[in-house]
Copies of this chain bind each other. A is one copy, B any other.
Amino acid sequence: MVDSWSVKDKAKDLGLLKKKDPNSAIIELADSPLPITGGKSPEKPKITIIDYDEQHYHEAEVKDVQECFRFKNQPTVTWINIDGLHQMDVLEKLGSCYGIHPLVLEDILTDQRPKIEDYDDYIFIVLKMLYYDEGSENKPDDEDDDGLGDTNLDMDQVSMILGPNFIISFKEKEVDVFNPLRDRLRMAKGKIRKQGADYLAYSMIDAIVDHYFLIMEKLGDRFEDLEDVVVSDPEPGILPTIYNLKRDMLFLRKSVWPLREAISKMQRTDSPLVSEATKIYLRDVYDHTIQVIENIETFRDMSASLLETYLSSLSNKLNEVIKLLTIISTIFIPLTFLAGLYGMNFRFMPELESPWGYPAVLILMLLVVVVMMIYFRKKEWV
């Protein structure tokens, strides 16, 4: 149905490589002239291959993607993982060997929503891996390519192609949440070595979704810190922090919401590539996704409350300041007037001549202060 036509051509053809989600950190291929080799992307893609069944286990890092193709027709499960995808020809070779639709190859290179697409011979899965960069509150290189300014959350697109006995996964960065998975494969722990490629796919999705809980926790901590400050000491410096938190929430939400639909679709698929036993595990991941989404929505509601509370807190503080000003003013302004009154230079001011004038005025002033204090006390201002 789909001819084996060149990805590079297609990429140039449709102009799709130029397209980018403003919130993504995916490299933008179209900025450099095709083929994308040399200067701008110095690191070569790192291709690792793991081939296993219950008895055998083979793991290797290969230079050329063609080394992987010999595993294609074996009954063992093959996992090809490609980090840092800069070379178009690697994708093209994989595409023609495994019969991947050009649109899939294109989707791997460009930023996509989390989704699961069934192409009969294989299932194409796109997920978002999220990282929480504790230190980098202001990443300077982020500012020019996304519309959301600096964020603590970083993202990597993980694409997977799930075939009958193979998985090909693509990531941009080497930071790896799949390492525990590899360990389990190496050490033949659990049931993972006994199961097919679909169980491996489940394990990978599960690893990614589990990582979201970590992000949730970090955000929860940030919330807690903010709450204390907002309520007790609403300093202006906290405003950008709240704003950034809200933005991070939106960012997170955009990454996780489509995931729910995608996993639900995979769980309900009638493709022979996903076994019934694995679907039970997918239901579990689905539940976790819902849990993540509910937490995000809760955080969202709380961040809205936080800003409102901050505003109220500011108003409280303003009230306090103005109360002080009012107390000082209403006490001293009448006193100052009295002092000014008897500072007038009229020739005929009988009070001035009286020996009791000064003490009388002092007593009068004291009276004013006392009356005012009583008034403020009644108002519960002091």
Q: Does A135 contact B (CB under 8 A)?
A: no
Instruction: Please measure, in the bound complex, the distance between the C-alpha atom of A362 and the C-alpha atom of B195, giving whole angstroms.
Output: 90
- Min CB distance A190 to B, Å, is 4
Question: Chain B: which residue is nearest A202 at the CB level?
Answer: B14
Flag A299-332 by CB within 8 Å of B: 1 or 0 each. Answer: 1011001011111111111111111111011101
Q: Taking chain A's interface residues, is the majority helix, strand, or loop, or is none over half, making it mixed? A: helix
Partner of A339, one of B19, B341, B347: B341
Instruction: Please measure, in the bound complex, the distance between the C-alpha atom of A280 and the C-alpha atom of B107, giving whole angstroms.
Output: 13
Chain B residues with CB under 8 A of A219: 147
Instruction: Please measure, in the bound complex, the distance between the C-alpha atom of A201 and the C-alpha atom of B337, giving whole angstroms.
Output: 79
Q: List 21 A-B contacts (CB under 8 A).
A: A13-B190, A14-B190, A19-B210, A21-B216, A22-B217, A23-B295, A113-B287, A113-B290, A117-B283, A149-B228, A227-B243, A236-B319, A243-B305, A258-B290, A317-B319, A325-B326, A328-B334, A332-B333, A333-B333, A337-B339, A347-B352
Interface residues of A in 335-366 (CB under 8 A from B): 335-337, 339-349, 351-355, 357-358, 361
Q: Does A192 contact B (CB under 8 A)?
A: yes
Interface residues of A in 139-197 (CB under 8 A from B): 143, 146-149, 180, 184, 189-192
Instruction: Please measure, in the bound complex, the distance between the C-alpha atom of A351 and the C-alpha atom of B345, giving whole angstroms.
Output: 10
Chain B residues with CB under 8 A of A308: 307, 311
Q: Does A250 contact B (CB under 8 A)?
A: yes
Question: Chain B: which residue is nearest A376 at the CB level?
Answer: B324
Interface residues of A in 183-225 (CB under 8 A from B): 184, 189-192, 203, 206-207, 210, 213, 216-217, 219-221, 223-224
Q: Does A93 contact B (CB under 8 A)?
A: no
Chain B residues with CB under 8 A of A283: 117
Question: Chain B: which residue is nearest A375 at the CB level?
Answer: B324
- Min CB distance A102 to B, Å, is 9
Instruction: Please measure, in the bound complex, the distance between the C-alpha atom of A290 and the C-alpha atom of B310, giving whole angstroms.
Output: 33
Interface residues of A in 213-247 (CB under 8 A from B): 213, 216-217, 219-221, 223-224, 227-228, 231, 236, 239-240, 242-243, 246-247
- Min CB distance A171 to B, Å, is 19
Q: Could you tell me if A345 and B345 are in contact, using CB atoms closer than 8 angstroms?
A: yes
Q: Could you tell me if B288 and A147 are in contact, using CB atoms closer than 8 angstroms?
A: no
Chain B residues with CB under 8 A of A34: none
Q: Could you tell me if A358 and B344 are in contact, using CB atoms closer than 8 angstroms?
A: yes
Contacts A113-B287, A243-B231, A344-B345; A22 near B216 (Cβ below 8 A): yes
